[in-house]
Amino acid sequence: PNYAVLSQYYLQTPADLSPNVLKVAQQWTNGATNTYQAMKMLESHLTDPAHFTYSISNPPVPGNIDAVSWLLHTGRGFCTYYATAMTMMARLLGVPARIVNGFNQGHFDAHRKVWEVDGDNAHSWVQVYFPGQGWISFDPTPGFSLDNPTNPQPTQTPGQTPTPARPKPTATATHPTSGTHPTPTSGVGGTGSNTSVLGDTQRQMVFLGISLIILVVALLVLAVAIYRYKFDKLYANASLVSALYWRVSRLASLSGVPPRESQTPYEYTRVLSQRFPRVKEPLWRITHVFVRERWGAQYHSPGAAEEKDIERLWPRIRGTFLRALIFRFHRHVG
């Protein structure tokens, strides 16, 4: 990803943000020789206990002032305040940044010998994008550090199993090691990975794919419904046996075996039986009853029981013809 893509998401700032925020950010980063150093200077100022305090009980932000300016004025707030302040300052300096919400390392339960993470461990910090490095994490909240957790190690008694290593906070990126601090770049560019943008793109592609599948399925269902409606309406005035025979003829035609004008029902059924031997007996049964009903004496017409028996043959014939139709369509498309 390049800076043009990143700036669309991670350089945005509120329109009502006070100009004083940029002035403070410029003052705090004065003398920085690269972007990483500038970000560490922002982090250092916000975590300075002489000027800022971590507090979970804070007065509401007045409606006539933005949250960052309010933090700079009061010098107290919880993690979201500080993460927001550093993110806005970084963006005002032209550096892509984002807030990360997750959990810190939690606390160790010596009795159960497990690390526990609950709602009290919810935390917010900052990630800044560096070309060639990706997203690098910073924690501007006073008393918190991603590298040096503040939770004390539980006291061990002789013979007690050593406490396992404390896990790192979730959803953070790796910090650069000494001597490998990312350096600023001029202009638009960068070859580093952008997990968030890539993840957003992948989610959009998945959503688009699912939407297209749903649309295609909906169109197929609609097409089948329309076809069945027309199919049923076409033979609405015909008897059950006649309707079944004409359905067989129509579906067979779509499957590639249409009747000829010169063929009798028996001749056509002979062709269908050769083409679809698996349903030979049902085809002949329907044809015999159809011919008897259409051209035989009235007392030879099928009764209700025979019609019901004939109707049970239709699903088997329909399935065979539909498979042939799908195969024909696939071969034509391929």
> Quick check: 317 and 248 in contact, CB under 8 A?
yes
For domain 3-190, the CATH architecture is Roll (3.10)
Pairing verdict, β 107-109 and 134-138: unpaired
Specify the pLDDT at position 168: 47
Query: Could you tell me which residue, 232 or 146, shows the higher pLDDT?
Result: 146
> Quick check: 279 and 254 in contact, CB under 8 A?
no
Cβ neighbours of 86 (radius 10 Å)? 27
The domain segmentation of the chain, as residue ranges, is: 3-190, 235-333
Assess whether pLDDT exceeds 80 at residue 47.
yes
Where does the pLDDT of residue 88 fall: very low under 50, low under 70, confident under 90, or very high at 90 and above? very high
d(CA 85, CA 142): 13
Assess whether pLDDT exceeds 80 at residue 120.
no
Assess whether pLDDT exceeds 80 at residue 57.
yes
DSSP state of 94: T
Specify the pLDDT at position 184: 42
Specify the pLDDT at position 46: 95
d(CA 188, CA 72): 31
**DSSP track, 58-77:** -PPPPTTS-HHHHHHHH-EE
